[in-house]
Amino acid sequence: FKKGLWRKTTPKGLKLKKFIERPDGTLVHDSSYVGEDAWVDDPEPPSENVKQVIESNSRLTAEDKEKLKEDLGIS
């Protein structure tokens, strides 16, 4: 679950719990719970790793690689 999407869909003031109590009293993990750091943005992928992936792709031509880097804003 992406944290940014989760933040947009969660109503303000809603109390969130990591576990939900069933009627029989057992606690079950809430699958919609993102985590304690849900208000911190998702880390962006480092541009060096993306650059290495583009360079190592043998299916792209040199021109395609340069265009892709330009489109992604990687120099």
Q: What is the mean pLDDT of residues 56-65?
A: 90
Q: What is the mean pLDDT of residues 57-68?
A: 90
* Pairwise CA distance, residues 46 & 52, whole Å: 10
Residue with structure tokens 């303000």? 12
69 close to 60: Cβ distance less than 8 angstroms: no
Q: Which of the two residues, 11 and 21, has the higher pLDDT score?
A: 21
Alpha-carbon dihedral sign for residues 36, 37, 38, 43:
negative
Each residue's pLDDT tens digit, 13-57: 666 667 778 899 888 877 666 665 555 665 666 677 788 888 898
6 pLDDT tier (thresholds 50, 70, 90):
low
pLDDT of the residue at 11? 66
Write down the pTM of the prediction.
Answer: 0.38
